[in-house]
Structure 1
Amino acid sequence: MRRQLELKDFRKTSPYLDDRPDCLENYQMSSEIELLRQKRALELRKKMLLSQEKPTPVAAETPKLSSRQTVQKILTGRGTEVLETARRYYPKEVGIIEENLARLIDSGRLRGPVSGEELYSFLRRVGLSFSMDTKIRVKEHGELKTLEEKFREGVR
């Protein structure tokens, strides 16, 4: 805590001050300015220490996606359908492949969109053989019709 000294105490304690009132005023102003500077410096030190103590929330801002979500991000076309069909046949193996693909995507070694055809041929090359559900549809008068519907119309 700061002690307040009266003007007469300044005259007694300081050999540099004479009896002129303007000399005392200058001394008081400079001491007040110095106190304000010290106070400001103390505030800045506190802010700096607080900012150093706080951990950077960089990890909290970017949530880690699961391997399934990471792979889903780059699949295009029928890619998700191919992946889900493969998962029905080989759930354990597709999980392992998904983790490896996600790691490659995160590291930047696998970029860009992966179509369903590319994914299907990749899965076949690693030894996962499965058949996709095939539907042949015909576009007629702006409508998509399956072959079954088309044959029914022809029989009538």
Structure 2
Amino acid sequence: MTDDAEIEVLKKRKLREMKRRLRLEQLKDLKAAEEEKKPAEPKPSPKDVLKTVFAGRAWEVWDTAEAQYPTVTQEIAVALAALIEAGKLKGAITGEQLYAFFRQLGLRVRLKTKIRIYESGELKTIADKLRSE
């Protein structure tokens, strides 16, 4: 009789274990189905990623470079965004750093330059300064 009782206990234990595994499997299936239903979050555009790291006059340099070299800057944007997302490029990128980067790549970005003189509480161009003298 004790053998029959032991067998019954083992059967009940095995049945409980099988039910528990079945519930866990059903939960996993439900979670997988929910994740499939969730819309995939759109990957941010390279410019959105660059917005997080560009500082100072970086956008001025970028916009000028983009106007002068549109196809190359698109490729550079994708590459920089990939580096930023991978964590290999950290910290802010200033206009000076970006300009130097373009120069190292062989892209001569021609920035609009103005020389102004601060005199008597106002900024004057060199032409205005020479006219007033």
Please state which band the TM-score falls in when normalised by the shorter chain.
0.5 to 0.7
CA distance in 1, matches of 2:46, 2:109: 22
Gaps of 5+ in 1: 1-47
Q: Where does 1:64-143 land on structure 2 (aligned, <5 Å)? A: 64-143=43-122
Q: Which runs of 4+ in 1 moved over 4 A?
A: 48-51, 56-59
Q: Secondary structure at the match of 1:96?
A: helix
Change (3 A) 1:148 1:51: farther
Q: Which structure is larger by alpha-carbon Rg, 1 or 2? A: 1
Matching of residue 145 in structure 1 with residue 128 in structure 2: no
Q: Distance in 2 between matches of 1:59 and 1:93?
A: 29
1:117 Cα offset (Å): 0.9
The share of aligned pairs that are identical, in percent, is 38
Alpha-carbon separation, structure 1, partners of 2:105 and 2:28:
55
What SS class does the counterpart of residue 99 from structure 1 fall into? helix
Give how far 1:70 is off.
1.2
Q: Please give the secondary structure, in 2, of the residue aligned with 1:135.
A: coil
TM-aligned CA distance change 1:59 to 1:111, over 3 Å: farther
Q: Deviations over 1:66-117 (max 9, x none)?
A: 1012113211111111111111111101110110000000111001111111
- The TM-score with structure 2 as length reference comes to 0.66
Q: For residues 140 and 65 of structure 1, do their structure 2 counterparts lie closer, same or farther at Cα, with a shift above 3 Å needed?
A: farther
Give 2:73's aligned amino acid: V
CA distance in structure 1 between the aligned counterparts of 2:39 and 2:127, rounded to whole angstroms:
56
Cα displacement string for residues 50-78 of structure 1 (whole angstroms, at most 9, x for unaligned residues): 96342285954xx5321012113211111
- Looking at structure 2, the residues matched to 140 and 73 of structure 1 have their Cα atoms a distance apart, in angstroms, of 37
Counterpart secondary structure, 1:138: strand
Higher relative contact order (CA 8 A, sep 6+): 2
Q: Say which SS state the counterpart of residue 110 (structure 1) adopts.
A: coil
Task: Quote the Cα distance in structure 2 between the aligned partners of 1:111 and 1:102.
Answer: 11
| One of 32, 54, 75 as aligned partner of 2:34 | 54
